[in-house]
Chains A and B, each alone.
Chain A
Amino acid sequence: MKILCNGEAQETPSGTRVADYLSQLGLDASSVVVECDGKILTREEYASHVLQDGSVLELIRFVGGG
């Protein structure tokens, strides 16, 4: 199925959870804020939220240092 991630069209198998998708991208889920279809997900929802065909994802990724 197709999703839109940070403005770019991407393919991912149907049934993909947000946490799976982040690990496909090689991202550490703990350092990413996820907006899915206009809603900011809680940290717990990463493991449960299933992406839908046409889902619009915005990922805000943090790197360390302060």
Chain B
Amino acid sequence: MLRVNEKEVSFQAGMTLADLVKDHAASGEADILLVNGYPASLQTILTDGDQCWLWKRGKVPSAKEMRRLLFARHSPGVQTRLQTKVVGIMGLGGLGSLVAIALARMGIGGLLLADYDVVEPTNLNRQQYFVDQIGQKKTAALRDILQRVNPHVAVTLMDRRLAEDDIGGLFHDVHALVECFDDPAMKAAGLRAALHNLPGVFYVCASGLAGYGENNAIRTRRLYPGVYIVGDEVSGASPGQGLMAARVGIAAHHQANQVVRLLLGEGNEAA
């Protein structure tokens, strides 16, 4: 048996890559040919068990193809559940931009993204934006990045400043809400809003991720059922202790993984 674009295809002795291209890609379409991860020519003779990729450069995978890719990597059980879930993200800086990208790569169904800010040159040391996006709204810039990562995520943008009183109404329909604000007053406001107004919505907030302190001081701690805090809870951003890509990234991926665990019915055990 061969795997061709993550689909099983029966193997016959003497088959070449050209035979596969003829049968499994519209003629002349495939110009990227990989066998077991390496570039290969049409004349390559295949061996049973080979994993082959036939791809047209620049082709965007259809929703069905993307689903198949994710099924193959994550198992259908996991993927079927993730693709029906919507996650809200408040703040699209170092944490939020990375949480969004991680969830999109994992095949989340939808993202509701909120920020009022524009991409500044000083953001590029840790946020997922690119030099050519300086000056763009973070909401639009992140949507463009996500489009290149996984075009089949339903992305909704909220280009606005959030306040404690509107968080409950704006994020009422998400399955999980991730707090990625920079301002500690908004972090506190977000948690109060979630505890008061969003029962039944999983909530993952963050505090303490500045500098280059110990990796393992970043932890995920349960505050209430379905409500978690990520970070070392002490390292605030301050002069001399800036926000740096690596540690912010550790915290962001704690947040993203905790969301996935909660959405898949894990990780909500008592503290």
Give Cα A32–Cα B184 distance, bound, in whole angstroms: 8
Indicate if the CB atoms of A64 and B184 lie closer than 8 Å.
yes
Indicate if the CB atoms of A63 and B184 lie closer than 8 Å.
yes
Chain B: interface secondary structure? mixed
* Least CB distance, A35 to chain B, in whole angstroms: 8
B26, CB-defined interface residue at 8 Å? no
Q: Which residues does chain B contribute within 8 Å of A30, judged by CB atoms?
A: 184-185, 188
Residue ID in chain B nearest A40 by CB atoms: B195
Indicate if the CB atoms of B192 and A61 lie closer than 8 Å.
no
The proximity string for A residues 37-66 relative to B, scoring 1 for CB distances below 8 Å and 0 otherwise, is: 000101100000000000000001111111
Complex A-B: 26 CB contacts under 8 Å: A28-B184, A30-B185, A32-B188, A40-B192, A42-B192, A43-B164, A43-B192, A60-B188, A60-B191, A60-B223, A62-B184, A62-B185, A63-B233, A63-B235, A63-B236, A64-B236, A64-B237, A65-B210, A65-B243, A66-B94, A66-B96, A66-B180, A66-B182, A66-B183, A66-B187, A66-B248
Q: Please name 13 further chain A to chain B contacts, defined as beta carbons within 8 Å, in addition to the given A62-B188, A66-B181, sorted by A numbering.
A: A28-B185, A31-B184, A31-B187, A33-B188, A62-B205, A62-B207, A63-B207, A63-B237, A65-B237, A65-B243, A66-B183, A66-B209, A66-B243
